Amino acid sequence: MEPADVTIRTGSLADVDALERLWVAVHHRHAEAMPELGPYVSDAETWAARSALYRRLLARPGTTLLLAERDGELVAYGLAYILDPDEDWVRDTWATGARIGEIESLSVRPADRGQGLGTLLLERLERALADQGVQDLVIGLLPGNDGALRLYERRGYRPTWMYVSRFASRDG
Ligand SMILES: CC(C)(COP(=O)(O)OP(=O)(O)OC[C@H]1O[C@@H](n2cnc3c(N)ncnc32)[C@H](O)[C@@H]1OP(=O)(O)O)[C@@H](O)C(=O)NCCC(=O)NCCS
């Protein structure tokens, strides 16, 4: 159950602009977690790319955006969607159901972290996918994001797939 003063509601395309600050906090967390992987894109660049992705995903059936609000102020959000069969990297390797859900984003305002909101939003996103018959789930995260990994492992997720990168913008 959510804390008494927090309301969770389903969002839509109309809510995307309001997510900017919380998404940029995720971007900063990524850069802090793995500074050696920089340079990172600017706040404006990350939000331009991310908001375009959210708009595309929200136009698809099966996508769920959840917003957590305290006193009418946005304190957290999560977004989950169902992978397109063409972008599904799971089913040629692991035995799963016909459709895979991805928890695309989870972000809690720094002052509101550690109170169970992230776990609650994750549970609700999982339920929204389960209600559509999707039981098999993935979440992407940076390898240095240990706190987020602990949260996901507590809910049964296991490290599954790893990319390595060699970007020309990096020194060395
Ligand atoms: C990861 C995140 C969504 C968790 O939300 P939360 O409401 O703090 O999580 P909960 O209170 O339900 O659970 C607490 C757990 O979250 C994780 N956590 C990650 N960052 C944390 C932080 N700054 N403060 C507290 N907990 C954090 C830990 O696993 C923590 O448990 P533990 O440290 O006791 O093992 C939130 O900390 C956040 O927005 N972090 C920055 C963005 C991010 O990394 N998002 C995930 C990208 S994959």
The two three-digit tokens of residue 87, written as one number: 């972008």
Gap between the Cα atoms of 133 and 101, Å rounded = 10
Selected residue with higher pLDDT from 78 and 3: 78
pLDDT reported for residue 27: 97
Residue 29 CB partners (closer than 8 Å, separation 6+):
145
The pLDDT tens digits for 39-84 are 999 999 999 999 999 999 999 999 999 999 999 999 999 999 999 8
pLDDT reported for residue 87: 85
The pLDDT tens digits for 98-157 are 999 999 999 999 999 999 999 999 999 999 999 999 999 999 999 989 999 999 999 999
pLDDT reported for residue 172: 58
Determine the residue of 74, 108, 139 to mutate for testing ligand 1's pocket, defined as the one with the most ligand atoms within 8 A of the Cβ atom.
108
A 10 A CB-CB count for 126 gives 20
The confidence band for 8, taking pLDDT boundaries of 50, 70 and 90, is very high
Selected residue with higher pLDDT from 88 and 49: 49
Using CB distances shorter than 6 Å, the residues near ligand 1 are 25-26, 29, 106-108, 113-119, 141, 145, 147-148, 150-151
Q: Which amino acid is at 50?
A: R
Task: Identify the three-state secondary structure at position 32.
Answer: helix
Return the closest-CA partner of residue 83 out of 32, 164, 139: 139
Q: Return the residue whose CA atom lies nearest to atom 12 of ligand 1.
A: 116
The confidence band for 15, taking pLDDT boundaries of 50, 70 and 90, is very high
pLDDT reported for residue 3: 79
